[in-house]
Structure 1
Amino acid sequence: MYVDLKLPKKVPPIPNPISVNTLPLPGYLEQTLATNLRMAMSAVGQERPKFPFIRTKRSALIFMGLHLKGYNPRSSQYERQKYQRKLQDYLDACNLPKWLAISMPLLFRSETGRSPSLTPRLNQFLGFQQFIDTASVWMEFTDDTREKQAAEGVCLQLKNPFDL
C-alpha cells in the first residue's frame, strides 16, 4: 500500500536545540525551576506544616525554602543533606504540639513521674515563643559558618533556626 509512496520534496528542517540561557525570564524559570517548585508545593500540601507561634503562611514559606534547598539538584550532596536535616528538624518542630497533646498526662505529674522525653520537648516548645513573627527577623542575613549537629529529635537552638 505505501510501497510506491514518495516523500515530499520539502521536508521541515531539523530543529536546533535551544540553550536555556537564551530564553526570556518566564521561559527560563519554567524550564529550570518548575519541577522543583511543583515538588515543594506538593510537599507543603501533604505535610501542612504549622510552626508553633508563627503564622501558617510563613510556616509554609519556610518549609518551601528548606525543601527547595534540600532537594536542589545543582547543589552539592553535603548541602542537600544539611538542608534535608534542617527540613526534618523543622517538621519535627511543627509536629511538636501534636506530640505534646498525645503524650501529656491529663493530671499533673512531677518530672520524676512522667516520661523522660516529655520535659525537654515541653521546654523546647515553650522556647519557641521567643521567635518573633515579623519579616525583618526572618529576612536578616546570617553567617552559615556554624555547624548544626545531626538531627536528634528536635534540637533547634539558633536565633533563626532554619538559616533562611
Structure 2
Amino acid sequence: MNEYESSGVAAGIGVVAGIFYLAIIVLLIAGMWKTFEKAGKPGWAAIIPIYNLIILLEIIGKPMIWVLWLLIPCVNIVFGIWATNLLSKSFGKSEGFTVGLVIFPYIFWPILGFGPATYLGPSAAEAQNGGFGNNPFNNPNNPFNKPFGNQNNPNDTPPPVV
C-alpha cells in the first residue's frame, strides 16, 4: 500500500467516526429535549448552553445560584453530579440511574426522555423520604417512631400519684 492509499483509508475512517460521533450527539440532544418536555419545559432549551442549566435547575427545584456553582471549575463536578442525582430523583429513578446518567449520558438521557418515566416534581419530594439518606424520622420500621403504650388496648386511667 502506498502513501496515497493509506491516507484515503484514514480519511474514510475519520469520516465514519465523525458521522458516528454526530449520531451520538443527536441522540443525546433528543433525549434531553424529550426529558425537558416531560418536565413541562421547552424542549429547545436543551440546545442552548447556559439556558439549559437554568431550565435543569427549575426542573430539579434548586435556586439560580446553582448556575454559578455549575460554572466554577472543580466545584461544577460535585454540583453537576448532585444535580444529575436530583434529576433522576425527580423522575422517580434510583441512584443507579444517576450513575448511568453520569457515566453513559448518551444512553441514559434517551432512556429518561423516551422511556416510561414520568416527571414527579422537584427531586420527587426529596425522594419520597423527606430527605436523602437514612432519615430515622420517616422510617416506619424505626421502633422510636412508634407511639408509647399499647395502642390496641389503651389505658385511660392516669398513672397513680405517689
TM-score by length of 2: 0.27
TM-score by length of 1: 0.27
